[in-house]
């Protein structure tokens, strides 16, 4: 079973509905017991970094998530700001991140002719193998909405990149911790494939 962390942010219902169409059991998790019953976890997120971290703290789920991800090594997928929360810190705010991956979150560079935030469809190119992107190594496109990007200290955790003025990490993996900067729940068949892959990770 997949638990989608329901802490007040993210397109949790859209993600759950995609799994329902795939006949894969997924629930919205708002309690520690909900999380502990799951085999895999999804941490969605929208909005600002600090607001997301504060919302997670208010939910009372932070400690259980750390326990399951760090100690029990349950597979977890962060989506958009959920991925950024997995870093140690963000230039967008003052709150510390979860620190599940040694990384920082930096503002996307300003370039003539490029609007911020980066919003819309973009190509995603695989740079390393991962179960998460099986079948998505050719002509995969995903929907993005972000003004900051994930910058890992170890480049080997970057699984796929996208380009917006410069290349940036669009998919990462460090052991059982996975992240996607885009929104798979808004990315049609490519997003369906990624979420299905995560169910097997």
Q: How many CB atoms lie within 10 A of CB 63?
A: 10
Q: Does the annotation mark 106 as catalytic?
A: no
Give the residue-averaged pLDDT of 147-171.
96
Domain of residue 46, residue span: 2-198
Is pLDDT at 106 greater than 90 in this prediction? yes
Given the residues 67, 80, 88, 146, the one annotated as active site: 80
Is pLDDT at 111 greater than 90 in this prediction? no
Weakest mean pLDDT among 42-51, 109-118, 152-161? 109-118
Q: Give the separation between CA 144 and CA 154, rounded to whole angstroms.
A: 23
pLDDT at 109: 86
Q: Does the annotation mark 185 as catalytic?
A: yes
- pTM (two decimals): 0.97
Is pLDDT at 138 greater than 90 in this prediction? no
Q: Does the annotation mark 183 as catalytic?
A: yes
Is pLDDT at 28 greater than 90 in this prediction? yes
The CATH number of the domain where 59 resides is what?
Answer: 3.40.50.880
Domain count, the chain: 1
**What average pLDDT does the chain have?**
96
Given the residues 139, 146, 183, 188, the one annotated as active site: 183
pLDDT at 15: 97
Q: Give the separation between CA 120 and CA 114, rounded to whole angstroms.
A: 12
- Residue 144 near residue 46 (C-beta atoms within 8 A): no
Is pLDDT at 90 greater than 90 in this prediction? yes
Given the residues 92, 118, 149, 185, the one annotated as active site: 185
Is pLDDT at 201 greater than 90 in this prediction? no
Q: What is the tens place of the pLDDT at every residue in 160-195?
A: 999 998 999 999 999 999 999 999 999 999 999 999
Output the CA torsion 115→121→123→129 (10° steps): 110
pLDDT at 17: 96
């Amino acid at each position: 079973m997949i638990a989608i962390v329901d802490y007040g942010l993210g397109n949790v219902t859209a993600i759950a509905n995609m799994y329902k169409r795939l006949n894969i059991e997924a629930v919205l998790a708002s309690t520690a017991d909900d999380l502990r019953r799951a085999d895999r976890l999804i941490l969605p997120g929208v909005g600002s970094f600090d607001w997301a971290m504060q919302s997670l703290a208010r939910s009372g789920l932070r400690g259980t998530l750390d326990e399951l991800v760090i100690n029990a090594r349950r597979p977890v997928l962060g989506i958009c700001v959920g991925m950024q929360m997995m870093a140690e810190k963000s230039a967008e705010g003052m709150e510390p991140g979860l620190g599940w991956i040694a990384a920082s979150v930096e503002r996307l560079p300003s370039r003539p002719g490029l609007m911020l935030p980066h919003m819309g469809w973009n190509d995603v190119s695989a740079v390393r193998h991962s179960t998460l992107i099986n079948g998505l190594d050719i002509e995969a496109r995903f929907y993005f909405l972000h003004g900051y990007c994930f910058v890992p200290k170890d480049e080997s955790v970057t699984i796929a990149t996208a380009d917006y003025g410069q290349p940036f990490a669009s998919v990462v993996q460090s052991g059982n911790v996975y992240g996607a900067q885009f929104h798979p729940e808004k990315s049609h068949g490519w997003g369906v494939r990624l979420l299905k892959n995560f169910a097997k990770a």
